Chain A
Amino acid sequence: MVKHLPYRYRDHSRIAAEASLAARDQGKFREMHLLLLDRSPKLDRGSLIGYAKELKLDVPRFTKDLDTMRHQPELDRDLKLADTLGLYNTPTIFINGVKFLGDRPIEEYRTAIDRELQAAGTGGKNR
């Protein structure tokens, strides 16, 4: 599950989060998410619409979602949740309740997942 925490001091963090959610509504959240990471810091409105074209999204619909900030209530809910949980850094990742702060090597997540699976046992019988 992904929650959003657009960094308040970056010009385009909020609109980039909107773009990922607008892409999600067209079934391409992950594709847009990876593209945003790859193309950062080019995250202005024009660039985002260009990425929507690249991903063959319905661009008029995507653009309208951006311009009307259609997902503002959802983003505000995520921000409130982060505040409630005392989270201020991105990424913050939870694996079975274990917190991982900051950008980390993929091996660290793999190890954590394997450890949790092992602790849970087959079919989670140890939980």
Chain B
Amino acid sequence: MSRRALPPLLLCALLAGAILLPSASFPAEPVSPAALAPLPPPPSPPENPTTPEKVELGKKLFFDRRLSGDGTMNCATCHDPENGFTDALATSLSYPTTRNWRNSPGLVNVAYRKRLFHDGRATSLEEQALFPMMSPFEMNRNLDYLEEVLKTVPAYVEAFQAVFGGEITRQRVAMAISAFERTLLSRDTPLDRHLRGETGALSSRQRAGLDLFLGKAGCATCHNGPNLADDRFHNLGVPEDPKAKEDPRVLATARFVGKVSGFPEYRTLREDPGRFLITKDPADWKAISTPSLREVAATAPYMHNGALGTLQEVIDFYDRGGGDDPMKSPVLRPLGLSREEKESLREFLATGLSGKIPEMRAPVIP
């Protein structure tokens, strides 16, 4: 593997959802409860303010199969509202004849993310939205062609004119989808109510889990702030999927991503370099973005490649001190959690962070 600086990544994969509990800077002292906070109202960026009309347009585009090259996939294919806005698979669904290599993350509260994708290559939803459309192993749609396809639909022409005061462009497609995604919220979990001072919002077991989350288990070192994510990157030593290495379609995907990322040895790439693909910083080798833990119970399986199937497996993974990667974060170490403590932590993660996931049906597509 080369560690010299290389040009930045230009293309690929799906935004991501792993789970990260303890982290690179494991705390000697418990994290203050003040490190957590109820979720504020979602942002409405001045360059793309959220309006009801834009959200409605974005919802239609989110569910429109015209966004994929063969007309079989829309955003909801991999971000299914009935599956916590994921596809509930270890590695995400893919364009016919191809295979994805990373896990599809949930979209609830994605409005608060500062970096998108497991490798953090996008810094806004507007930037993120176009990647899966043009990725050959996801929706495989040529964006020049997409613009022309959408312009043949009078209802879309009218809607874009009304919302943006202009014609259909790929940037406006992304802006509308982003505005819709910013409405996918869950802000009233037992943790939120507890943080707002509501007595009894957490059960005694959830409360014990929260204490572990902030203390012995070290979760809040990385999973902090209102969205329970530090928006940084960490190598946890998550094991590669051995079956994936034997599938030539997965290898093709990995090598393609390496190639367009300027990874010199992409032809022999057999693992996911994570954030390193973007920064070319050796410190970022196999580092993956910290996901939010809100509504985490709905987004199994976990980690960037779905290596861990349940919250229990995730807790056991961290209790062992993470994976075996020699370059994993050196401060990960065995936690020594008792069975009772693991169960309390699982209960807090599974129910203390779960509110109401938005329910929706696919709209009528013009």
Is residue B124 contacting chain A, with contact meaning CB distance below 8 A? no
Asked, given contacts A9-B96, A101-B77, A101-B80, whether A88 binds B89 with beta carbons under 8 Å apart, the answer is: no
Is residue A123 contacting chain B, with contact meaning CB distance below 8 A? no
Which chain B residue shows the least CB distance to A100?
Answer: B88
Chain B residues closer than 8 Å to A104, beta-carbon distance: 89
Q: Which of B66-74, B202-210, B216-224, B285-293 contacts A (4 or more CB under 8 A)?
A: B66-74
Q: Are A101 and B93 in contact (CB under 8 A)?
A: yes
Task: Give A contacts to B, CB under 8 Å.
Answer: 7-10, 86, 88-89, 99, 101-102, 104-105, 108
Distance, CA A9 to CA B96, complexed state (A): 10
Which chain A residue shows the least CB distance to B76?
Answer: A101
Q: Are A7 and B96 in contact (CB under 8 A)?
A: yes
Q: Are B72 and A102 in contact (CB under 8 A)?
A: no
Which chain A residue shows the least CB distance to B74?
Answer: A88
Size bracket of the B interface: 10 to 19
Chain A residues closer than 8 Å to B341, beta-carbon distance: none
Total number of residue pairs linking A and B with CB closer than 8 Å = 27
Distance, CA A105 to CA B87, complexed state (A): 13
CB distance from B230 to the nearest CB of A (A): 32
Chain A at the B interface: SS class: loop
Q: Are B93 and A88 in contact (CB under 8 A)?
A: no
CB distance from B67 to the nearest CB of A (A): 12
Distance, CA A104 to CA B362, complexed state (A): 23
Q: Are A88 and B71 in contact (CB under 8 A)?
A: yes
Q: Are A101 and B87 in contact (CB under 8 A)?
A: yes
List 26 interface pairs A-B (beta carbons < 8 Å), by A numbering: A7-B70, A7-B72, A7-B96, A8-B70, A9-B70, A9-B96, A10-B96, A86-B362, A88-B65, A88-B71, A88-B72, A88-B73, A89-B72, A89-B73, A89-B77, A89-B93, A99-B82, A101-B77, A101-B80, A101-B87, A101-B93, A102-B89, A102-B93, A104-B89, A105-B90, A108-B88
Q: Are A102 and B71 in contact (CB under 8 A)?
A: no
Chain B at the A interface: SS class: loop
Task: Give B contacts to A, CB under 8 Å.
Answer: 65, 70-73, 77, 80, 82, 87-90, 93, 96, 362
Chain A residues closer than 8 Å to B96, beta-carbon distance: 7, 9-10
Which chain A residue shows the least CB distance to B83?
Answer: A101
Chain A residues closer than 8 Å to B362, beta-carbon distance: 86
Known A-B contacts: A7-B72, A88-B65, A102-B93. Give 6 more (CB < 8 A): A9-B96, A10-B96, A88-B73, A89-B72, A101-B87, A105-B90
Most chain A CB within 10 A, of B72, B73, B80, B87, is at B72
Distance, CA A10 to CA B93, complexed state (A): 19
Distance, CA A7 to CA B72, complexed state (A): 9
CB distance from B35 to the nearest CB of A (A): 36
3 tightest A-B contacts by CB?
A88-B72, A102-B93, A9-B70
Chain A residues closer than 8 Å to B93, beta-carbon distance: 89, 101-102
CB distance from A55 to the nearest CB of B (A): 26
CB distance from B316 to the nearest CB of A (A): 18
CB distance from A125 to the nearest CB of B (A): 27
CB distance from A78 to the nearest CB of B (A): 16
Chain A residues closer than 8 Å to B72, beta-carbon distance: 7, 88-89
Distance, CA A89 to CA B139, complexed state (A): 13
Chain B residues closer than 8 Å to A102, beta-carbon distance: 87, 89, 93
Distance, CA A99 to CA B82, complexed state (A): 9
Chain A residues closer than 8 Å to B71, beta-carbon distance: 88
Distance, CA A87 to CA B144, complexed state (A): 26
CB distance from B74 to the nearest CB of A (A): 9
Distance, CA A102 to CA B78, complexed state (A): 10
Distance, CA A9 to CA B70, complexed state (A): 8
Chain B residues closer than 8 Å to A105, beta-carbon distance: 90
Distance, CA A101 to CA B82, complexed state (A): 11
Distance, CA A89 to CA B77, complexed state (A): 9
Which chain A residue shows the least CB distance to B65?
Answer: A88
Chain A residues closer than 8 Å to B73, beta-carbon distance: 88-89
Distance, CA A52 to CA B89, complexed state (A): 35
CB distance from A106 to the nearest CB of B (A): 13
Distance, CA A44 to CA B88, complexed state (A): 34
Chain A residues closer than 8 Å to B65, beta-carbon distance: 88
CB distance from B117 to the nearest CB of A (A): 21
Which chain A residue shows the least CB distance to B80?
Answer: A101
Which chain A residue shows the least CB distance to B94?
Answer: A102
